[in-house]
Amino acid sequence: MKYDIAVIGSGMSGLMASIYLAEKGLNIAVVSKGDPICSVSSGCIDIAGTGEKTMESIDIFPLEHPYNKIGEKGITDSLQYFLDLMKEQGFNYLGDIGKNRNILTPIGKYRTTSLVPFTMEHADIEPGESFHIISFKDIKDFFPSYITGIFSNTGVSVFDAGTYTTMGIAAKMDNEDFLESFSKWIKLQNIEQKKIGIPAILGITKTRKIINYLETETGKIFFEIPTLPPSIPGLRLYRNIKSIAEKKGVSFYNTADITDFKKENDTIINITIKKPGRPDYVNADAFILATGSFVSGGLFLDKNIFKETVFNLPVYSPVDKELFNMDFFKLGHPLEKSGILIDENFKVLKSGYNNLFIAGSILAHSETMKYQCGHGMAIATGIAAAKHAEEHIK
């Protein structure tokens, strides 16, 4: 099959690139091996740092950081584009692109992020604030006492949902009868506080309806607290973004194991997807590589040899043989700087192909953990790579 542009990777950066390009009327394919890490994330969009203002954090990022190839306006526009898309989809994300906020986590500590799904609109609890927690009988990995230990004037109620996994409870919430009985139970608890925190299980598909219903019925304000994976807010984020891409006409190749590619001089012609039976070939005028870093499988480290897994691109890394002698779990390990070096046009630096553009956490110097810029960087570089790819095929 022949497409205008093929995007490899269906995480945040790949999907955002595909949506942007499909809106321009181009014929786009997204090729992915499986679901992305995005679907087990907290569902929040980190933009930069932990300070009050995001753009001030970016100012002190090192010059090599991918954000510096886009600039403040480019970053802000991309994130605004994301906010607009989610609004159109009916799954609003809230927050000020220029500001960070602190939201409550299951261990009672704060986590800094910037844009949050509407379910976490009220998750920025003030220190000492009084609120209520609703938990579930036997629920895995959610212990309200972590929170009550820090917020001492917090009440807790426990509901027996008849199941004990976050997926199971969220699926039940989508059912009207179950929701009604849950709402009736809340009313019987005579909760004093106005705000109610709840592990992130308020439905998989009908979250908007569920929150509206609960707030109208009980007169309370609800906010979700992200849980360990499986993470429902991450799943909702991924499914909504993918659904937007589908609506814009993007074609999806899933379970795609890319084993080979064809090139003519410096131009990539197609990629081969191996599977039982016949392989599939995806031809395109330009390719965007957004396969992520080590954990997503875009990069692979084998006995001190760094590999890029699709096109065997040169991988930059400041790490030498001392890799495992260092404090491995310390933030800012040099391993995090590893990735693909790019030029101003988001092409591979020097030895690159002329129709290949790179986006997302596979980029060298992105250090998403250290700089807390995960989804924000993915969105901004995804759009930036898409714009350069669009320019290229014109």
Partner 1 sequence: MKESFENCIRCTICVENCPVFKVNPEYPGPKQAGPDAERFRLDGIETVDKWITHCTQCKRCDFACPYGVDPSKLILKAQIRYVSKHRKSLPQLLFSNFHYIARLGSLFSVITNFITSLGMMRKLFKLIGLRNDIPFPEFRFKTLQRFRKKSIRSPNPVDHIKINKPKERKAAFFHGCYLNSNAPDEGRMIIAILEHFGIKVAVPDQVCCGLPALGNGDLVKAQGFANKNSKEFAKFIDEGWDILYSCTSCGHTLIYDYPEILGTDEGELISKNTWNLYEYLLLLKDEGQINFNFKPLKKVISYHIPCHLRGRGVPYPAVKIFKEIPNLNLHIQDINCCGFSGSYGFKEKNKETTDALGQIAVESLEDHNPDIIISDCGACRMQISNFTKTRIIDPIQIMYDALGL
Binding of partner 1 by 277 (CB under 8 A): yes
Contact segment (CB under 8 A) with partner 1 among 87-95, 160-168, 299-307, 366-374 equals 160-168
Gap between the Cα atoms of 30 and 46, Å rounded = 24
- Binding status of residue 252 toward partner 1 by CB under 8 A: yes
Q: Specify whether the CB–CB gap between 360 and 382 falls below 8 A.
A: yes
For partner 1, the closer of residues 20 and 253 by Cβ is 253
Count of H-run helices and E-run strands, the chain? 10, 17
| Smallest distance, partner 1 to C-beta of residue 381, A | 20
Which residues ranging from 335 to 354 are in contact with partner 1 (CB under 8 A)? none
The nearer residue to partner 1, 40 or 83, going by C-beta atoms, is 40
Q: Which residue, 85, 385, 382, 40, is CA-closest to 246? A: 85
Query: Which of residues 205 and 345 has its CB atom nearest to partner 1 in the complex?
Result: 205
Rounded CA separation 131/127 (Å): 11
Q: Which residues fall within 8 angstroms of residue 301, CB to CB, at 6 or more apart?
A: 294, 307, 335, 338
The least CB distance from residue 162 to partner 1, in Å, is 7
Q: Per CB under 8 A, which region of 189-197, 272-280, 317-325, 343-351 contacts partner 1?
A: 272-280
Least Å distance, CB 249 to partner 1, is 9
By CB under 8 A, residue 369 contacts partner 1: no
How many of the chain's residues bind partner 1 (CB under 8 A)?
A: 42
Q: Where are the beta strands (DSSP E) in the chain?
A: 2-8, 28-31, 93-94, 101-104, 110-113, 116-117, 132-136, 155-159, 195-199, 221-225, 251-253, 257-264, 267-274, 280-289, 299-302, 305-308, 356-358
Among 278, 330, 350, 394, binds partner 1 (CB under 8 A): 278
Q: Which two tokens stand for residue 93?
A: 């994300």
Q: How far, in Å, CA of 113 to CA of 162, rounded?
A: 33
How many residues can be counted in the chain? Answer: 394
Rounded to an integer, what distance in angstroms lies between the CA atom of residue 104 and that of residue 153?
15
In whole angstroms, the minimum distance from the beta carbon of 175 to partner 1 comes to 8
Decide whether 121 or 308 has the Cβ nearer to partner 1.
308
Residues 289-328 that bind partner 1 (CB under 8 A): 295-297
**Residue 34 makes contact with partner 1 by CB under 8 A:** yes
Secondary-structure percent of the chain, ordered helix, strand, coil, rounded to 5: 35, 25, 40
Among 92, 130, 157, 163, the residue binding partner 1 under the rule CB under 8 A is 163
Interface with partner 1, residue 139, by CB under 8 A? no
Q: Among residue numbers 190 through 249, which ones bind partner 1 (CB under 8 A)?
A: 204-205, 229-230, 235, 239, 246
272 strand-pairing partners: 260, 281
Residues 37-76 as x/- pattern, contact with partner 1 by CB under 8 A: x-xx------------------------------------
**Which token pair is 48?**
């930069």
Of positions 12, 86, 256, 271, contacts partner 1 by CB under 8 A: 256
Residues contributing to the site for partner 1 (CB under 8 A): 1, 29, 32-37, 39-40, 162-165, 167-168, 171, 174-175, 204-205, 229-230, 235, 239, 246, 251-257, 273, 275-278, 280, 295-297
